[in-house]
Amino acid sequence: MGLLGSLSMLLPLLLWVLWMPAVRAQLPGDKERSARSLDALLQDYAFRAFPSVHPRTGTLYAGEPPSNLTGIKISAMRLRSGSLRTRGVKSYWEFEMPKGVVVQPYVERLVLVYQNLGKWSFFYYPIPGYTYLTPIVGLLAYDAFNLSSTNLPELDITAPINPISIKFSGVQSAPSGLSAKCIWFDLEGVMKFSNITSDNICSATKQGHFSIVAEYTAAPSPSPVSPQINGGPNEGPSLGGGESKVWKIVGSVLGGFVLLVLLSLLVLWVQRYKHQKKMQQMEKASEVGEALHIASIGNTRAPMALGTRTQPVLENEYVP
Ligand SMILES: *[C@@H]1O[C@H](CO)[C@@H](O)[C@H](O)[C@H]1NC(C)=O
Ligand SMILES: *[C@@H]1O[C@H](CO)[C@@H](O)[C@H](O)[C@H]1NC(C)=O
Ligand SMILES: *[C@@H]1O[C@H](CO)[C@@H](O)[C@H](O)[C@H]1NC(C)=O
């Protein structure tokens, strides 16, 4: 095989390698569906629920999510952090905050943003092997200093004495044999499990996202995992470009197969090349060996040269 031929064989491989990062960036789990960018978006939309003049303290304002995220519920409530600490919040959807809750860093007023992800729960918080028995609800705190702000950092809420409780209603019953557990995602996306205390109540010591899940052991059918849970509207889960994602996955699997074929061709070619190189070297070596032998023996050269002729046995194995 000529140099040109081998180069033309490497070209598709090179193109593939260059193209691959672009494919990977489009696979699910990336920016567009990241839970943190959803938090930022929902902070913006929840803050828009406040009236532009004199928003009241301690009042729940229901917000409107962007139209591409119907099924998500958001609310905002503005509080003095002093009142949160001394009185708590009796009822904010599923959440009840006891006395003693501390906000860090200190702000005079804060906004508690509530999220109910409805049918989007599994989309933004996919946990293979588990099924959500209730939509994910989130509780996040922001500085209330400027209600037009976007991309605000979350404040840290801590309940050091009594935990915050989350009372879920309309929880699906766990498939038989499986027990339900509370799940908590902190803001880094780390998930932690805990026991349901009673009456579908989970407890928390910090802000984050919460739900009740059941673990699948045998996974009889994948349908219960789809986010068809109460809270969302009736239209089917429109998981934002799900089909094109499937095609991207199919495409990258096919691409991977092509890559595999190309790689094996490359390996074959390298082996053949090495083989040829070796053959040439052995031929050379046998010639040199011949010469050396002849030289060292001196006068009786003819018989020794005959003996070395048997060395390049490999030649017979080589099948082009
Ligand atoms: C929904 O729309 C907002 C802007 O209105 C955009 O920032 C966001 O990325 C969109 N989300 C999805 C999942 O399409
Ligand atoms: C509040 O934030 C908005 C957007 O960032 C900004 O335009 C406005 O000037 C801010 N207002 C105050 C009082 O800081
Ligand atoms: C949850 O409950 C089980 C028994 O019901 C117990 O063995 C386990 O330690 C509990 N886990 C936690 C984190 O409390």
Q: Which ligand 3 atom is nearest residue 195's CA? A: 1
Q: Which ligand 1 atom is nearest residue 37's CA? A: 9
Confidence of residue 291 (pLDDT cuts 50, 70, 90): very low
Report the alpha-carbon distance of residue 139 to residue 159 in Å, rounded: 13
Which amino acid belongs to residue 66? Answer: P
Q: What pLDDT score does 285 carry?
A: 60
Q: Choose the residue to mutate in 34, 37, 48, 68 for probing ligand 1, maximizing ligand atoms within 8 Å of C-beta.
A: 68
d(CA 48, ligand 3 centre) in Å = 42
Domain count, the chain: 1
Nearest residue CA, atom 11 of ligand 2? Answer: 146
Any domain includes 269: no
Any domain includes 188: yes
Tokens of 238: 């429109």
User: Is the pLDDT assigned to residue 265 strictly greater than 80?
Assistant: yes
Please state which of the ranges 134-148, 230-244, 246-260, 276-290 shows the lowest mean pLDDT.
Answer: 230-244
From the CB of 242, is ligand 1 less than 6 Å away? Answer: no
Q: What pLDDT score does 263 carry?
A: 84
Any domain includes 262: no
Q: What pLDDT score does 49 carry?
A: 98
Confidence of residue 24 (pLDDT cuts 50, 70, 90): very low
Tokens of 155: 């404040």
Any domain includes 73: yes
Any domain includes 243: no
Question: Minimum-distance ligand to the CA of 194?
Answer: 3
| Between residues 161 and 314, the one the model is more confident about | 161
CATH number for 103: 2.60.220
> Residue 221's domain spans which residues?
31-238
Per-range mean pLDDT, top range of 50-54, 197-201, 312-316: 50-54
Any domain includes 290: no
Q: What pLDDT score does 309 carry?
A: 46
pLDDT in tens, 221-258: 444 444 444 333 333 333 333 445 556 666 777 777 77
Confidence of residue 293 (pLDDT cuts 50, 70, 90): very low
User: Is the pLDDT assigned to residue 23 strictly greater than 50?
Assistant: no
Q: What pLDDT score does 274 carry?
A: 83
Nearest to 138 by CA among 205, 190, 37, 209: 209
User: Is the pLDDT assigned to residue 194 strictly greater than 90?
Assistant: yes
Any domain includes 285: no
User: Is the pLDDT assigned to residue 81 strictly greater than 90?
Assistant: yes
User: CA–CA distance from 273 to each of 262, 276, 283 (Å)?
Assistant: 16, 5, 15
User: Is the pLDDT assigned to residue 218 strictly greater than 70?
Assistant: no
| Between residues 256 and 126, the one the model is more confident about | 126
Report the alpha-carbon distance of residue 90 to residue 61 in Å, rounded: 16
137 within 8 A of 94, measured Cβ to Cβ: yes
Question: Taking the model in full, what pTM does it have?
Answer: 0.65
User: Is the pLDDT assigned to residue 116 strictly greater than 90?
Assistant: yes
Mean pLDDT score of the chain: 78
Report the alpha-carbon distance of residue 109 to residue 133 in Å, rounded: 34
119 within 8 A of 229, measured Cβ to Cβ: yes
User: Is the pLDDT assigned to residue 124 strictly greater than 90?
Assistant: yes
Q: What pLDDT score does 290 carry?
A: 44
Spell out which residues line ligand 2, taking CB within 6 angstroms.
146, 148-149
Any domain includes 234: yes
Peptide bond into 105 cis (omega under 30): yes
